[in-house]
Amino acid sequence: MEFSGVRALVTGGARGMGRCFVEQVRAGGGQVAFCDVDAAAVAAASEELGAPGFACDVSNEGAVQRFYDDAAAAMGVPNVLINNAGITRDGLFLKAHPETGEPVMMGLDRWQQVLDVNLTGPFLCTRAFAAGAFRAKQAESVVVNLSSISRAGNAGQLNYSAAKAGLVADTVVWAKELARYGVRVGAVAPGFIRTPMTEGMKPEALAKVASGIPLKRLGEPTEIWLAIRFIIECGYFTGRVVEVDGGLVI
């Protein structure tokens, strides 16, 4: 796909990596609309980035369809979707209570919240996007899913790992099912990236994380963007995952 013709949707675009992706689409000459769950953050980012932004909970079916419709009205039928929105609710599946010694289990709410946003969200967004591309009979459309190095199974991230592994499986299924309609689907699996979330960690904890990475540093959001742009522009790429993790293996 020629980048000058990109009309992209970015979920979770008001902050962190998503904000970087919005900036990079605009810098590359494409059009972009984004959403985020925080309406105040959306308003501020929209003004700063010069891109239409919409408040949207990606786990809500009606909200997702409204986001798609509003974005399409603002810039035309989207031909790129970047499923970036995600949350973490980390915790051990089972641990002993420090005082009683009784088992403390991960609550269903903590499990469900992560699955709703990180797995159901991309399902709903991709469904709306694919239907729009189908109706418009677009020659080429691209979905990029943001998975994670944690998809391999990271202790303390049972819910997150399950969602990100499921998203890779969905990537493969969507690539097979949607190719006949001109839709390519790829995924990027970032490692530890420098974002407001990681920058909020204690310096000693951050240093410990970096020391375990072969390249001895965290990645930058722009380095994840390079992988996303490759998927968008490479017309023979679909159904696969690009790992951008500094060589770290979990």
Least Cα distance to 1 among 30, 37, 39 occurs for 30
CA angle 158, 10, 4 (to 5 degrees): 140
| Catalytic annotation present for 181 | no
| CB 55 within 8 Å of CB 11 | no
How many residues belong to the chain? Answer: 250
Which residue among the candidates 68, 160, 181, 236 is catalytic per the annotation?
160
Active site residues: 160
